[in-house]
Amino acid sequence: MAKCFNAETQIYSSHRPAVDLPTDPNLSLTSFLFRSTASYPNRTALIDADSGQTLTFLQLKTLVSNLAHSLIKLTSRKRRRSNLRPQFNSFPVCFFSVASLGA
């Protein structure tokens, strides 16, 4: 296996092909993540390493959207409470939900 560190340049690099990143400065993280959901709704987006459970891009987008809408509703109430149950891949769903709100 080839090394990923070049001692001459002191640079680590991936053996995977380069990824083309968007150049649009107005493109949000969640828009970028979910831009191909309509084309590939059943492709795996997340895999839980411990349990092997998976989420497709459509499932992830639905969970992120639902949580983001719930967070918006919570901010309009005086007493705000939320309960996050320890579930598979809850951190990515929470992270992308908050990111989709621009926070």
Encode pLDDT of 33-81 as tens digits. Answer: 888 888 999 999 999 888 889 999 999 999 999 988 988 887 766 655 5
Nearest to 46 by CA among 63, 29, 31, 32: 63
Structure confidence at residue 97 (pLDDT): 86
Whole-model pTM above 0.85?
no
Q: How confident is the model at residue 20 (pLDDT cuts 50, 70, 90)?
A: confident
The average confidence (pLDDT) of the chain is 82
d(CA 91, CA 88): 8
